[in-house]
Amino acid sequence: MQRPLIAVTPWYDYEKGVTYIKDGYCEGIIEAGGLAFLLPAVAGEDLLDEAISRFDGFLISGGPDIDPAYYNEVNLPYNGSISPVRDQMEICIVKKAVLQGKPVFGICRGIQVMNVALGGTLYQDIQAQVKAENLLKHSQEAPKWFPTHEIFIEKDSRVWNSFMRDTVRVNSYHHQAVKDIAPGFKATSRSPDGIIESLELENHVFAVGVQWHPELMWRKNADFLRLFSDFVDSCKKL
C-alpha cells in the first residue's frame, strides 16, 4: 500500500519572508508510515480547495496565537503574536476537511484552531483568565521532550486507545487553551487544573487535537508516536 499523502501547515516569518516547519512533525508522520508535505503559506480558497482534494489528511501544527476576532472577542493585552495568513488557511482547511470526512490532527495551536474553526472559543491567557488554586505551569522551562505534568484521559477515546491508560505525563508549551468547546467536539483529556488537553470530534474518521507536543516527545518515548500512527492509519482507510 502506498503511503498516504499528508499536508502539514507551515510556520511563517513575516520579517524574513520564510516558510518553515519545526522538527518532529514531518518526521513523526514519516515514521508512522505517511508521506509528509509542507504546505505553502497561502490563504487563497481555490488553492486550498485543490490541496484538500489532493491530500489524504492534514496536520495543523503549533505556532502563534489566533486572532480572537474569529471567536468574537477583542484582542486583549495578553494575547500574543498573530499570523493572519495561517489563521485564514488553517481555519479554512479544518472546516472543509472535516466536512469532507478527511482526517485532521491538531497539535498545540492546532487544537485551538480546530476548536475555533468549528465554533468554539479560547482563553487568551491561562494565567490571566483561569481562576484555579492549583493552576499549573503550562509554559515549561525544561527540555522540550521532558514531560512536566499529568493529564487524565477519558476511556473509549482515541487518546486513551493510543496510550491504553488513564494518566500520562506530557510536555507543555502554551499560554492559551480551549475555553468553550465547539459543537460536536468532546474533551477527552484534561490536566489536573481542568485545562482541556485533547478534543475529539464525534462520529468522524479522525479529528483529534492535543494541547501538548507529541512531535517533541516520540523520539524519547515511542508511546507518543501512536497518535501519529493512529492518524496515518486513518488516512490510509480513505
Spans of the chain, pLDDT less than 70? none
The residue segments making up the domain with residue 105 are: 5-236
For residues 168 and 151, the answer to whether their CB atoms sit within 8 Å is yes
pLDDT of residue 133: 83
Answer yes or no: 45 catalytic. Answer: no
Model confidence pTM above 0.85:
yes
pLDDT at 237: 78
Residue range 78-114, pLDDT digits in tens: 999 999 999 999 999 999 999 999 999 999 999 999 9
- Is residue 144 within 8 A of residue 213, CB to CB? The reply is yes
User: Is 174 among the catalytic positions?
Assistant: no
Q: What residues contact residue 164 under an 8 Å CB cut-off, 6+ apart?
A: none
Tens of pLDDT along 191-218? 999 999 999 999 999 999 999 999 999 9
Which cell goes with 10? Answer: 507551515
The CATH code of the domain that includes 213 is 3.40.50.880
Number of domains in the chain: 1
214: three-class secondary structure by DSSP = helix
Q: Which position among 138, 149, 174, 213 bears the catalytic label? A: 213
Cross-strand bridge partners of residue 209: 106, 199
* Cβ-contact 221, 143 below 8 angstroms: no
- Set 26, 92, 108, 235: catalytic member: 108
Contacts of 83 (CB under 8 A, 6+ apart): 12, 14, 63, 64
